[in-house]
Structure 1
Amino acid sequence: MAYALEDEFGDIIGKARRGQNISQRQITTATGITEAELARMEQYTLKPTESQVFRLAEILNLDGPKLLNIATEQWEPESPQQTIDADLEVITISAPVGGWPVNAYLLVCKATDDAAIIDTAAHPDLVLEQVDAHNVNPTAILLTHAHSDHTDGLPQLQTATGCETYIHTDEPKPQSNTRLREVAHGDVLSIGELMVTVVNTPGHTPGGCSFLTQNAAFVGDAIFAGSVGGPNISYQAEIDSVRANLLSLPDTVRLYPGHGPSTTVGEEKLHNPFF
C-alpha cells in the first residue's frame, strides 16, 4: 500500500508532546523509552514496538489502537466517490511548497458554474489554470488561515479574478491588493446557489476557520487524515474546536485539508488518534 497520510507516527507523537508541553525527560520517566529513542521516533528513523506505541499513547492522551494502526501503516482514508454531492464539485489543486504538497481547492456550484477559490497553495498560476480548464466563474476567495503556503500569490488571484477575499476576523492578515472581508463563526456566504457556513477551528492559528457546505468541509490545517495541524497557538483549542465543530457533523461529510488526502468525519472518528 502506498502510504499517503500527511503525518507519520513521528509527527503525531511530536505534535501531541509539544502541544501538551510534555518534555522528552517526562516521556522517558513515564514510559522507559529513552530520550534518544524518542528523538529517533520523532525523526522517522526508529519504528516503535507495539508496547512502545501504547505507552506513548497513554502519556500523550492519544488513542492507542488508532495510533498503532498509523505506526504500522494499516490505515489510510478511502478514496472519495466520484460525486459526493449532486449540487457541487470539488477540484483539488496540489502543489509543492518547500518540498511538501499543499492543497488549494475550487468549490463549484454545478447549477451556476460559480466557484470559490479556497486558499492559494502559494501557486496562483496553477489555481488560475484550473479555473480556465474547468470553465468556472470565481466569485470569492476564501482563506482558511494566513500561513504563507496557503496565501502567497493572493494579490495575483485578486487581480486576475476581481474576487473579494474572506478571512476570519481573529486571523492575522496576509498581503492583499484589496480590503479583506472579515468573517466569524456562523456567517454564511453564497457561492452560486451553495450556502457556505464559516466555522471556528482555531489552534493552529488564532483565527483558523473552516468552510462548510452540504457534504463538504474545507478545513485548512485544523485536521488532517489521521492527525491535526501543528498546534502553534493552542493545542486544547485545536482539539476542542475540531471535536465540536467538525467531528460533530454527519459521518458522510468529506473533509478537505490543507495537506494530505481528503477524509470523512466518520473515518476520522474511527481512526484519528487525537480523538
Structure 2
Amino acid sequence: MVPLEDGVEDVIGKAARGLGLADEPLARAAGVSLEEVRRVKRGELDERLIRRLASVLHLRGDALVALGKGDYRPRDPGPIPGFLAFHTAWSGMTVNAYLVWDLRTREAAAFDTGGDCDEMLGAIRDRGLQLRAIFLTHTHGDHIAALDRLKGETGARAYVGDQEPLPGAEPFAAGAEFSIGSLPIRTLLTNGHSPGGITYLVSGGPRLLAIVGDSLFAGSMGGGNVSYADALRNNREKVLALPADTVICPGHGPLTSVAEEREHNPFFTS
C-alpha cells in the first residue's frame, strides 16, 4: 500500500512557509509557545495545538487532526482498465509515474518517468503497447529522471508545458489538447509548486483521470515553491472543480479522488 506523502508536520510546514510565517510569529499568532510549535513540527500529536495552528494557517482543523490520527486514507479506486501506476525510488523518496492506453488500438502515453522506467518498459512489452507520447507534469528531477532512456527505447515524443522548457521535450501552451488513440487529453496550467506545472485530464476511458504531478496529494499538496497563492488557487478552481468521481493521480502518495480531497484535504475542505 502506497503511504501518504505528508503527515501533519508536513502540512503545517508547507502552509507556514507559504504564508511566510517562521516559528516565532506563528507561535505568537496562535497563542502557543515556540516549543509547542516545534513539538508539532516534530510530529507530536496534540489535538489542541494542531487546531490552534490550523486556525492561523487557514487549514481545516478537523481534517488536520484526522490526518494526524491516521483516520484518513483515500479509498482505493480499484483496477482501472487501460491504466497503470508505477512507484519508483528517488533520493530517499518514492515518486509516481503513469501509463494510460487505448484498449482497442494499444496506443499508450506515459505521464512522467519516475526514478527509473524498468517497470514501465516491462508493462509496455508485456501488454503489446505502442508508446506514442511522454507527457511531463513538470521538470523536477524525480519526474524526468528516466526521460532519455524511455524516449530512446520506445521512440516516443516527449511534451512539456512551455513555462518549463526542457531539452528533448516539445513545449506546448497550457490549454493544448492531445489524443492517444481514442482518448482525448486536455491540459490545465496548475503552476505554483513549479513555474509551469501541468495537469493532464484523460477522458474516454472507464474513469476521468487527472494526472496532477505535485500540484495535489492525497491529504496534502506540493509545496508552493514558486507561488503558494497560485498553488492553492489552481487546485481549488481547476482540480477540485472537476467531477467528484475524477481519479486524481498525484506525483507522490496514493491515488485519490476529487470527492475525497474536497472532504478530507486540510488545505481545501470547508
Q: 2:223 aligns with which of 226, 230, 241?
A: 230
Q: Which amino acid aligns with 1:188?
A: E
**Is the CA contact (8 Å cut-off) linking 1:172 and 1:207 kept in structure 2?**
no
Q: Which amino acid aligns with 2:62?
A: P
CA 1:155–1:37 in 2, change beyond 3 Å: closer, same or farther? same
Deviation at 1:126, TM superposition (A): 2.8
Give runs of aligned pairs for residues 75-86 of structure 1, distance below 5 A.
75-83=72-80
Deviation at 1:65, TM superposition (A): 1.2
What do residues 198-238 of structure 1 show as CA deviations (whole Å, max 9, x unaligned)? 11110110000110012111000000001000111000000
Aligned to 2:24: 25
Aligned to 1:16: 15
Aligned to 1:256: 249
What do residues 141-183 of structure 1 show as CA deviations (whole Å, max 9, x unaligned)? 000000000001211111111111110000142xx4x3x2112
Aligned to 2:128: 135
Q: Which moved more, 1:25-34 or 1:151-160?
A: 25-34
What do residues 232-263 of structure 1 show as CA deviations (whole Å, max 9, x unaligned)? 10000000011111111000000000100000
**Is the CA contact (8 Å cut-off) linking 2:40 and 2:50 kept in structure 1?**
no
Aligned to 1:187: 176
**Is the CA contact (8 Å cut-off) linking 2:218 and 2:261 kept in structure 1?**
yes
Structure 2 unaligned spans of 5+: none
* 2:109 counterpart of 1:116: yes
* 2:22 counterpart of 1:7: no
Give runs of aligned pairs for residues 51-66 of structure 1, distance below 5 A.
51-66=48-63
**Is the CA contact (8 Å cut-off) linking 1:6 and 1:259 kept in structure 2?**
yes
Structure 1 unaligned spans of 5+: none
> 2 CA distance for matches of 1:270 and 1:82?
23
> 1 CA distance for matches of 2:194 and 2:103?
32
Identity among equivalent pairs (%): 36
TM superposition score normalised by structure 2: 0.94
Give runs of aligned pairs for residues 104-183 of structure 1, distance below 5 A.
104-173=97-166, 176=167, 178=168, 180-183=169-172
Q: 1:270 aligns with which of 254, 263, 269?
A: 263
Q: Which amino acid aligns with 1:4?
A: P
Q: Which moved more, 1:137-146 or 1:21-30?
A: 21-30
* Alignment coverage as a number of residue pairs: 264
Q: Which amino acid aligns with 1:126?
A: E
> 2 CA distance for matches of 1:211 and 1:94?
19
Instruction: Give the SS at the match of 1:228.
Output: coil
Structure 1 runs (4+) greater than 6 angstroms displaced? none
Deviation at 1:38, TM superposition (A): 2.0
* 2:70 counterpart of 1:73: yes
Deviation at 1:64, TM superposition (A): 1.3
Deviation at 1:3, TM superposition (A): 8.6
Q: Which moved more, 1:199-208 or 1:2-11?
A: 2-11
Q: CA RMSD in A?
A: 1.5
Deviation at 1:72, TM superposition (A): 1.3
TM superposition score normalised by structure 1: 0.92
Deviation at 1:186, TM superposition (A): 1.6
Aligned to 1:207: 196
